Amino acid sequence: MTLRLAASMGAVQTLVSMVLSFVSIKITSVYLGPAGLGTMGQLGLFMVMTQAILAAGVGTGLVRRTAELNEAPAQRELAISTALRMLVAAGAVTTVLVAGGATVLARDILHDVSLSHSLQLYAAVCVFGLVATAIVSCASGAKDFRSVALINIGTGVSSFAMVAALCPQIGLEGGLIATATLPLITWAIAFAVSRHKAWWPSRPFAAGFSRGEARGVVAFVPIAIITAVGMPLLQLAVRDQVIAHSGMAAVGLLQGVMRLSDMYLGIASGVFAMYFFPRFSEIRGRAELSAEIRRGLLLIVPAVAVVSLVIYLLRELIVRVVFTSEFLPMSELFGWQMAGNTLKMVGWLLGYVLLAKANPIAMALLETVTLVVWWLLSRFTIARDGVLGAPEAFAITYALYAVATFVGVTLVLRRLEAPSAEATT
């Protein structure tokens, strides 16, 4: 697979997502307002957190296993069956816990006990989202990125259709229903796409369970859990700080600028996951790895920087077109957010090198320290500047993260050079 193919698939997927998101944001901002948009964002964050806790590490491991076992279909089916059994078991436990604690979760996360039914709805379908993650991971490992893009685009279109149909009719309730049922929608589309693919078994649970495959698939679980738990929890905590200092409407402003960021960063993050991570993993020589890192830094990062600058310069026009005049105070958040987005891409690219080459414990430690620093900075900047402090802390954190990953990559490159030096003595 070439970088051009990965970029084109990511671009198509992100372009469709951007169009749908722009219209979706417009609909939700008109019918829900800043507070409603913030509530939808809170539910979405909780869903991302729980799905990632259960599936992110397994999904990453399954990508690698599927790629490694491309020529061994029987072993590949055993790995898939093992992963699916683990995911379904974990999902069943999650269903019971979320459904049973829906009232408490609604009070603490959505700040409204009457919205607990949206969490119960999510609990009923969360297992489907885990199975969908396994399907997408297998497609990625098999380098069938057209199927990956098709699944993601189909999910986006279906989710948008529900938002467009439900929000004008029943307001916030409709937005929460559309959000909560996303795992089921994703599974239905992923299942339809995978039915006749060689990389997905016709009977995915039939191969049984292997302890050896389980250990291989969950190799990335520790760092995935830290990221999956820590990042959404941090964002929830940051938003609670914003609520305390500036109110729920300010969270809607923050949610809006973050959604805009997610839309255009999708191309870069897609290329990182589809191309650079497997590419960094297979490289063994220092010179080749250095060249691939430079390639990413010279292509992806400048592109993100230019788009960020354009968005910043047109920020007031974007807010008026995409949102409503009620969201105009959001324009004050763009400067720090756009700077942080560019720095984030530098850190992510170098972070994928470390994910492919460095000790997983060291990576887990780096992620933990990053989250702690981000939280401490947020407490200070939000107390000082209100909602503006959130993007300030975000940008400063990723500046520090970029420096830390640069140092880590430098150490990795030196280590790769060592065997060659010893071989010549």
pLDDT attached to residue 394: 95
Q: Which two tokens stand for residue 390?
A: 């959130």
Q: What is the pLDDT of residues 26-46, one digit of tens each?
A: 788 888 888 888 888 889 888
Average pLDDT over residues 115-144: 90
* Alpha-helical runs (H) found in 219-333: 221-246, 248-271, 277-282, 286-313, 315-322
Q: What is the pLDDT of residues 56-86, one digit of tens each?
A: 778 877 877 787 777 788 988 999 999 999 9
Nearest Cα residue to 121 out of 166, 184, 163: 184
pLDDT of 2 reads 65
Q: Is the pLDDT of residue 1 over 60?
A: no
Share of the chain residues as helix, strand and coil, in percent rounded to the nearest 5:
90, 0, 10
pLDDT band at 422 (very low <50, low <70, confident <90, very high): very low
The model carries a pTM of: 0.70
The CB-side HSE value for 188 (13 A sphere, CA atoms) comes to 12
Tell me if 55 sits within 8 A of 131, measured CB to CB. Answer: no
User: In this predicted structure, what is the pLDDT of residue 328?
Assistant: 86
pLDDT at 418: 54
Q: Which of 59-73, 140-154, 182-196 has the lowest mean pLDDT?
A: 59-73
**Token couple for 292:** 């691939």
The length of the chain in residues reads 425
- Angstrom distance (rounded) from CA 336 to CA 258: 12
334-357 vs 389-423: helix axis angle to the nearest 10? 30
Does the pLDDT at position 366 exceed 80?
yes
Collapsing DSSP to helix, strand or coil, 383 comes out as helix
- CA separation for the pair 234, 45 (Å, rounded): 10
* Per-residue model confidence as pLDDT tens digits over 216-232: 777 777 777 787 778 87
**What CA–CA distance (Å, rounded) separates 377 from 173?**
35
CA 129, CA 58: separation in Å to the nearest integer? 13
Predicted local confidence at residue 400, as pLDDT: 97
pLDDT of 355 over the 50 cut: yes
Secondary structure element (H or E) that encloses residue 181, with its range: none
CA separation for the pair 4, 409 (Å, rounded) = 25
* Main-chain dihedrals φ then ψ at residue 212, nearest 5 degrees: -65, -45
